[in-house]
Each structure stands twice: as structure tokens, then as C-alpha cells.
A and B are shown apart, each in its own frame.
Chain A
């Protein structure tokens, strides 16, 4: 957020006096003497006009009577006014200011009696002493002194005139600028407001260099310098910078508190709607991080955008539209997100000749294409539309970030080596050279993911532990640190080190999320810990955690993202323990009523699908069929969920048939060799399946609603057996449960996330384009 004055016409230094004057006059009647100090007449006129507009005070009354008539004519004019009034030009009194002040002093009571309203008297700063001594009694009745004098001309060293762009600068430039500012500040004994501005800039530079501690120190010093002034606007801006750091460190609640309680009220009171809207945007960004997409969308659409449109801030309006498209994208509204980008955002930047923003927008369009599975088009945009522009403009940061996204596409296409090469050779050196820690962490995360996908768990562990974690430590990003710890736990889980994985979840992740009050991540991590406990055979403990810690938090949040899937997980665990009645009860008593309350028809249908499977497992096949036909299939049909509709049809078909059988190549249901085959009869390519599975594998958490025996078994074996697989086809739940029960405990506990992943695998493999995108890990 910069500090220019698009909607605040006065000097920032005068925000405090204005706010205090506004506050003093609000709802106040009776004689109220406000002394307004000025030093520059044109600026006084500007302030005066602003006060007329904002505070409903009258146009100034000039003291231009002939002094021979005394002050009575002035009082007569005042007496005719019935609202707050400004009085100006005291120094033009023909008999001199002192004469006027003495006259006014002696008519103090008359003035108060004749004018029972706020009286705003403009006095030159050089005349204040005269006012206080020549009109001491009038001065004694002042309600307040409000200083709108221009700051004294102060020496501006060359360091002040430099306009920096911390984002565009490279490490050398940044270091030089930091040194220049530090050298200047070291020579100053007393900081002035203009120096506070320098401290904010210094903090920005240090922040971009990843030196968060120094940045925080600079911001705090700026804040302290501003605390000695009446510059409320700059102080709010400084607080905003501190909020930025809190957000970086994952202290989102604290950040939001500053935005809402310290920034917004000031900008609103000042009428600085530009800063107000920008701060709203920051709040929306944080809500997005917190997963509250509807709230973020509402702010962007209903609060932020209308302000920019009203103020004619076209660029900000377009940028906000782009952010709205991002949120729609998050909500899965890909077509609308694409439409906004293509029809509203892109043309504006093209017309404005802003090639950089055009490239960024195209990158966002590529994101949508990627989600749509159009990987080739996404890759083309990245390589042909984005990268050349950034190269030409010398925007190395965007170049490196885009290379990271190229690698992501390559991964999705299964081209992992190529992806690794891009990350290592194109992206990493740039961020290293720029000392851009955030960028580096972004790349290391991708490299770690690839290693995990390739099963190179030791290397993955090394990248996470030796590269990523130290960066998050240094920049103080606690949220990302905890998430990386989650990745490490996942790796340990993959290595079979369940105890280590559990310890990380409990001792490292959960305390951080508690500290950050990040309830969704807490719930997810506790659920994962519960998973690990189940894998260790500690079923009751796992259920206890979910019951005591996850579900109450979910209820508190009323967050179906947590609550519904968690209950489904509970049902899964119960089912895995063959506690079918209890599993059934969870679905019917918890999940379905919750879905009804939330109006979540899709989850309700998924829950009923599981209910049907449990009923079938209990031998109540007709009842199960009834549920599927009457309550599940019509819903997926109505919701146009093709995949689940097909799945339901298959289930109905299976239950309708008399025999359950194992795939043709499978020697026996209880044999050690079990394989995976798609429903169309084609076999899953083992190499690709394993790689892709592991890419999204350990640590990935997907909550599922039902047990598809074939997928469960296949996935479990994929993980365990590597590439040597056979086929299990159309295995019925009841049968699968039997097989699973015979496998190692560990396998049975992977069911939920493997199932979810395989759901994705099944759908994308049908398109023939690529493996599915990795499942999103918990925050």
C-alpha cells in the first residue's frame, strides 16, 4: 500500500488535526471556539474548502470591516449564521491584529451568547502568541487548537528524493539503498515525519530481502517517530506495514485486528476511501488465506470494487476484478473466472498498453486452463506469452515464478525430470541471485513435491528440512513452517516411521496452529494425527481426538469444510474397524442432519452412498439399492456430477448382480498379488500410477465418503508394492473389507486419502491428458 494522496487532499501531517476537529464538532452545539492554525494562505483555502465539504461548516466569513465600527458588524454577521462557521483574515483588520484581538477578548461573552455554535477561527501560526496574550480570556475558552500549518521547510537530503520499488530492485540495488538510508538515519538525532517515511521504505526493502526482524524494527521505529506527531494517517499506514509482517508470519487474526480496528476506522474517518478500499482488499486476501472464500468474494465485489469504480480508479478496479476471478476460480467457477479475465481484465490492460499486466493476466488464464486440464494450452501461454514479456522487461522475479508454474504443468503431465530441470536451472538461480527467500521457498517446495512423487523420500526430506524450513524460520512465516513440518510428517509416514510422523504432527504442527489460532489447519492436522493413531491400531484414541478436539472446533466454526468430512472420516474409521452400526449412526445422526442444515446436497448424497455400502456390507442389499436409486442417483444427476453418477450406477449394477468377482487376472481374493484396472478394462500404467500417487501421496489428506474396495486395495498395494501390480476389478465393499482386514494395519488406514486421490486419478486418466493435479495439502 503506498501513501499517495489520491483521495486525501491534505498533507498527511494534517490527518490528525482534521480527525480531532471532526470528532470535536460531531453532535456538538453551543459556543465552541476552535483555533485553526495556518501558515500558507493557498493551503489554508484548500483546507477550508475541504472542511466545508466534509464538516458542513459555512464558507469563511472574512474580518474585513472597518475597525472604526468595532467588532459589532462581525458579531452581527455571526449572529445570522446558525451553523459552524469559519472566520478568516484576522490579520487584515485595519487597526491591526492586536486591536482586533483585544476587542474580541472583551466581547468574549457576547460572542458566546450571540453565536451558540462552533466557531472556527483561522489564525496564522505567527499570530498565535498574540492571540494567547492579547485575547487571553478568549484563548482560555478555546476548545481546541488544530494545526494546519505547513511543516517547516526542512533539509531534504538526496536520500529522501529516491523513489524505490522494492519488488523490482535486485539484491545489489536493494542493499545499496538500505545502506544509504541507514547512513542517513544514523546521523539524525531527532526523527521527523519525513524520516518516518524513510523508515517505512527501509522496512519494505528489508522485508523483500527476507530480513523480517530488521523490517519489523524499522516499522516500529517509524511508528514511534509518528507517535510523537499528530499524523494519524501515516501512523495507520505504519500499522498496516506491521500487519503485513504479521500476515507473513501467519498471525492472521492479529493482522486482521489491526486492519479492522486501527487502519480502517482512520481511513474511513478521514474519507480516504482509496486506502480504505485497499485495506479492505488486504482483509479479503487474508480471508482467502483462511479459506473463507465467500466472505473474501463479498468484500471484493461489494465493498472494494464499487469504491474504485466510484473514484474512477480504473486500474485498481480492473485488478480487483482479476482478484474476484481468482476467488471464483477457488470456488471452482472456472468459466466465470475465465470470462472475467478474458472479457474484462485482459482488454483493459491491452488497451492501456500495459504489457506486463497483460502477461500476468494471461498467466491467470493459464491457471484456469490448467485446472480445466488443458495443460498444453496452459504451457503454451506460460512459455510464449508470459516468459518473453518478463524477459524483455527484465522482470526476473516474475520470470522465475512463471518458470515455477511451468514446472507445475510439467509435473501434471508426468514430466518430472523436465520439471526438476526447469526449477533448478531457470527459477532457482534467479531467486538465489535476488536473495528472494519467499521465491526460493516456493521453488524448494515444488522440488520437494517432485522428490516425494518420485519416491525419493530422503532427498525430499533433505529439501524440506535443510532448505525450506530455515527460510520460513528466517522470515518468521510460522504457518508455512508448520505446513512444511506436515510435509515432513508425510514423508516419515511414507517411510513407515509412524511414530516420528505423529510426533511432528502433535509437537510441532499443532502448537503452531494453536498459536496462530488457525482452526481449519488445527482440525485437519488433528485429523491426520488421528489417522496415524489408527494406523498404529489406536482406534479409540483416534476417535477420541476427533470427538474431543476436531468435531467441537468444527461445530464452533460451523465449517462444513471441516465438520462434514471429519464425520465421514469417523464413519470410515468405524467401518474399517467393522463397527458398521456405529458408522451407520454417524452418517444418519451426524453427517446427514448437518448436510441438511447446511443445504449441502452433494455431501448428503455422498454420505448416503456410504450408507448404502454399509447396508450392503450388512447384507441389506435391497435397502442399499433403494437408497442409491431413490436418494443418491437423482442428486448426482441433478448436480450434474458425472463421475459420481457413473460411480453410483456401477454400484447399483454391482449390487443388482448376484456374483461379486475379482478381476480376471487376479488369482484369488486372498492371494498376495492384487492389481488395479480401470473400469473400461484398461490397466493402470504402474510406473505412472505410482509416481503420481506419491506426488500427491504422503501427507496428502483427502476425506472420502465411501470405501471403494478396488481402489482402496489398489492404492494400498501401489504404495506398498511399488510397481509390481495386478488387477482388482469391481471388488465389492464387503469383499474388500475382508481383504483389507487381512493386510497390515497400516494399509487400512490410508484408505481415505488414497481413495480421494484415486477418484481424481480415475477421472483424469479418462481424459487422456495427464495425471491428476496433486491434492491440496492442508494449510
Chain B
């Protein structure tokens, strides 16, 4: 990490600036600890729910079961933070974390709760195999039997089952579970000819599957403890914030009880607008943790030095400090609204406008105008009035469909203590200024 040198030319910055890669905590030299910069937010509350202290040790008895939502704006750093949580908690003294990214590993287009749970059964088995943690066959029988009875012996999925277990013996060991559930998950993802039938099976016999999975989890947790690789299993599910709207409603609202038939600790990533729409905390989830924007301004408009400092660090790990003309970093930070991906986008667009060897103020100005024009394309004329109203309101947040829509498309940003502000680039537009003038 010490050997890391940020890109020292604009071209190099451009080459290395990608939006499709979440950072893997402090093992990635570009990662910046933003916890303190997000206002009063910290992962401490989440960790305490899991019985973990700020020093990353257990305090008291950790919970056996819990379903947590981890939410935040698109691009605010949820995936990066979930990976950091994995890194913090996946220790011999704490949890055996099984991490999965639904968006990558599953088909989030029409994803149901059982798809996820089936996938994670396979992932758990896979990870145990990788870590050489044995689970006695008798504890795996129920899961093996479920497969045999509900998949292998059914005429329509028999052929699939044969292919899935080809080369495996009858012994219901970890490799067996890893293979067959992995194959089922792949079949569900890749739209195979068996997808519909497998889904129907899962749905019809989900309670059986959940019970078998529970036994597998229980036995695995015991083996993990024996192997001194953690005290309990914690599933972290990234990518579920990407579910299409109706799937998200089913997953987080309608099917929440099915989801809880699997008894373990789960952290699910959830879309921010749904959290507001549903009040998800009262609907079966143990707790909701929202990752706010990096707080660059306090509610009274004064500058938050911690926020600026963290975002400056972010920039300087993507581009050498010497590449910025005076004041450009803070200018970009100001117009990012404390949103990390928006900051990187502004950097990217500034690069595209730059004509010299530096990120200069003229290019940064043009970048702000350009990003503002992206918002002009997607906002309705009346949206500006809503944004002005929210910006002018001291505390009360209108939890209306329009406001949620604005949150969804990042026109509205949420900061800690749940105060909302319009995206700063939008405030540069004539439409916003007109709405502001009209509002008196």
C-alpha cells in the first residue's frame, strides 16, 4: 500500500477511473475511511447490533438471528462499505462472513427471496470447502434429501439434477452441497430451460428448503467455532438494492417473512427510496442502517472540514495532488454534494474538458455545467419547485412520491440526521434559480 502512487498525468487518471468497481476496504490503496466524514454516522451502531464493540470484540452474547438493511444513495459507497464491514467482522474472534453480490452472481432481473437463499446455501458450502472446514454428513442430509426429493426425482428436473451432480458420489458432503446448489443458482441466473421449474420447486417447497438450510447453518456454525474461524455465521448480501421496483417490494415487504424462515444473521443492501416508502424497520427487519452522503456542509451551510478532508483524500488517491490547479479540489467537492461517485464523475468530466496538463478551474466549471445538464434532462419543471421547497425547509422532509423519486435519481441527497439537500449542480441551473425566485 505504501508503494502506491496515484496517477500522475491526466491521461493516467482517465485510464484508471472506472465506475464499476467497488473498493475492497483498506486493501485497496484508493480506499478512504469516510466514516467520520459522514457526519455523526458510524458503523458502530450496526456493529453493536451484532454484539461487536468499537474495538471489534464481542461485548456480551452476540445475536443468533437478525435481519438488517443497509441502505443509502446509489453510488454513495454502500458496496465499498459492505466490503469494509466484511473485512472488519470476518475474523476468528467475531464472525464467519459469507459475502455475495446479487448483482453479479444472480440475475437481479426478477430476483426472488428463494433465489438468494438458495444461492447463499451454495456459497456457504463453497466457502467452507475453501477453508477446509468439515461438516459432518449427517447434518447435510436434510439438504441433500431436499435436493433428491424435490429436484432429482421430479421428471422435469431430473436431467438437470443428473448433470448437476455428475461425478459426485452419494455422500452428502460439503462438495456435494456446494456443487448442486451452485449449479441450481447458475441455472436460475442464466435463464436455462430449467429455470421456471426450479423456481416453482423452490417456491412450493421453500419451507422444507429453509428448514434444511437452517440445519446446515447450525452445523456449519458449530464446525466454524470448532475450527476457531469465528463464532457465528453472518451473511452479507450486496446488490439487492438493484432489484427492479416490484421485485424490491416483494423482497423487502411482501416476502419478508419467508426471508426470515432462514434463521441466521443477514445484512441486506436495500434501495433508499424503498426504505422511505415502506418504513421497513417496522416490517420485520431488525434494523435499518443508512449510509449518508459525506457531509461537506452542516445544516446551517457552514463547511464541514472532515467531509472536505475525506473527499480530498479520495481525489488525491485517484489523481496526484500536483494535477490540480488551486482551488479545484474543493470546487469539485462542493459540487459533488458529498457523493463519492458524483465526485469521481466530476473529476472524469473535468478531465474531458481539460485542455492542458492540469485539472484547471475552467474545465471544472464546464464539468459542473455539464453534469447539471444531465440533471436538466431528467427533471420535470415542477421538480425544481419541490427541490427549492426542501432546501428551504428547516427540518420537515416531505416523504412524498416526488421526493422519493428525486432521492432515487440523486437530485436530492440525504445527509446524516436525515436532512436533505438538492444536488449542488442542480442549484446552478436557471430552472432552479427561477424556482427559488418564485418561492420568494
Contact = CB atoms under 8 A, between A and B. Distances in A.
Interface of A: 20-21, 23-24, 26-33, 70, 72, 102-103, 105-110, 112-113, 125, 128-129, 132-133, 136-137, 140-145, 147, 228, 230, 265
Interface of B: 11, 14-15, 18-20, 74-75, 101, 103-104, 107-109, 191, 239, 242, 244, 341, 345, 348-349, 351-353, 355, 366, 369-370, 373-374, 377-378, 405, 408-410
Contacts of A33: 19
A141 B109 CA distance: 18
A132 B104 CA distance: 21
Given A137-B74, A145-B374, A109 B20 contact: yes
A105 B348 CA distance: 22
B421 to A, nearest CB: 19
Nearest to A25: B14
Given A28-B14, A108-B103, A136 B20 contact: no
A125 B374 CA distance: 11
Given A27-B11, A128-B378, A129-B377, A102 B109 contact: yes
Contacts of A110: 104
Given A31-B18, A108-B103, A109-B20, A140 B74 contact: yes
A113 B103 CA distance: 12
Given A23-B351, A27-B11, A106 B191 contact: no
22 contacts: A20-B353, A26-B14, A27-B14, A27-B15, A30-B20, A72-B191, A103-B109, A107-B107, A107-B109, A109-B101, A109-B103, A133-B405, A137-B74, A140-B19, A140-B74, A142-B345, A143-B19, A145-B373, A145-B377, A147-B373, A230-B366, A265-B355
Given A112-B20, A265-B355, A128 B107 contact: no
A33 B355 CA distance: 22
A420 B44 CA distance: 96
Contacts of B242: 105-106, 108, 137
Contacts of A31: 18, 20
B74 A136 contact: yes
Contacts of A147: 373
Contact of A106 (B19, B20, B108, B374): B108
Contacts of B75: 140
Given A27-B11, A143-B19, A132 B377 contact: yes
A143 B409 CA distance: 17
A107 to B, nearest CB: 7
A102 B341 contact: no
Given A106-B108, A140-B341, A144-B348, 16 more contacts: A24-B348, A27-B14, A28-B15, A30-B18, A31-B18, A31-B20, A102-B244, A103-B109, A109-B103, A113-B104, A125-B377, A132-B377, A140-B19, A140-B410, A145-B377, A230-B366
A228 B368 CA distance: 12
Nearest to B20: A112
Nearest to A102: B244
Query: Which 7 residue pairs are nearest across A and B when measured between Cβ atoms?
Result: A106-B109, A20-B352, A132-B378, A112-B20, A109-B104, A141-B19, A106-B108
B74 A128 contact: no
A245 to B, nearest CB: 22
Contacts of B103: 106, 108-109, 137
A137 B101 CA distance: 15
Contact of B409 (A24, A27, A72, A136): A136
Contacts of A136: 74, 408-409
Contact of A26 (B11, B348, B349): B11
A87 B75 CA distance: 25
Contact of A141 (B20, B244, B366): B20
A764 to B, nearest CB: 54
A142 B14 CA distance: 13
Contacts of A26: 11, 14
B346 to A, nearest CB: 12
Nearest to B380: A129
Contacts, number: 93
A106 to B, nearest CB: 3
Contacts of B109: 102-103, 105-107
Contacts of B15: 27-29
B191 A70 contact: yes
A570 B410 CA distance: 76
B402 to A, nearest CB: 13
Contacts of A113: 104
Contacts of B410: 140
Contact of B378 (A23, A112, A129): A129
A32 B19 CA distance: 8
A109 B102 CA distance: 10
Nearest to A71: B109
A145 B302 CA distance: 32
Interface centre among A31, A110, A140, A145 (most CB of B within 10 A): A140
A134 to B, nearest CB: 9
Contact of A143 (B74, B348, B366, B408): B348
Contacts of B349: 144
Contacts of B366: 230
B437 to A, nearest CB: 15
Contacts of A137: 74, 103, 242
A113 to B, nearest CB: 7
Contacts of A141: 19-20
Contacts of A21: 352
A268 to B, nearest CB: 12
Given A29-B15, A132-B409, A133-B378, A144 B352 contact: yes
A109 B242 CA distance: 11
Nearest to B349: A144
Contacts of B107: 106-107
Contacts of A230: 366, 370
B389 to A, nearest CB: 21
Given A112-B20, A137-B242, A140-B19, A23 B409 contact: no
B275 to A, nearest CB: 16
A120 B353 CA distance: 19
A105 B405 CA distance: 17
A125 B14 CA distance: 26
Contacts of A145: 370, 373-374, 377
A33 B366 CA distance: 20
Most A CB within 10 A of own CB, among B18, B349, B373: B18
Nearest to B103: A109
A142 B75 CA distance: 12
A132 B379 CA distance: 10
A16 B417 CA distance: 41
Contacts of A30: 18, 20
B413 to A, nearest CB: 14
A29 B18 CA distance: 10
Nearest to B342: A140
Contacts of B14: 23-24, 26-28
A125 B377 CA distance: 8
Nearest to B190: A72
Contacts of A108: 20, 103, 242
A31 B18 CA distance: 7
Nearest to A20: B352
A265 B354 CA distance: 12
Contacts of B108: 106
Contacts of B239: 109
Contacts of B18: 30-32
Nearest to A21: B352
